[in-house]
Structure 1
Amino acid sequence: MEVRLIPRDHGPAAVPEASVRVRWSVGPAGAVTLSPGCARTGERTVVCGTGVLVAGQAGEEIRLGVRLRVPAPEVTLEVETAWNGGVTDPDRTNDRLRVLVLPTGDAYSF
Structure 2
Amino acid sequence: MKWLKTLFWMVVFFFVIHFSLQNRDEVTLRYSIQNYQWFEFTNVPVFFVILCSIFLGVLIGGLSEIYGRYQLKRRLKQNKITIERLEKEIDSLRVSQIERASLLSED
In which range does the TM-score fall when normalised by the shorter chain?
under 0.3
More strand per residue: 1
The answer to which structure has the higher helix fraction is 2
Q: TM-score scaled by structure 2?
A: 0.18
Larger radius of gyration: 2
Question: TM-score if structure 1 supplies the norm length?
Answer: 0.18
Higher RCO (CA 8 Å, separation ≥ 6 residues): 1
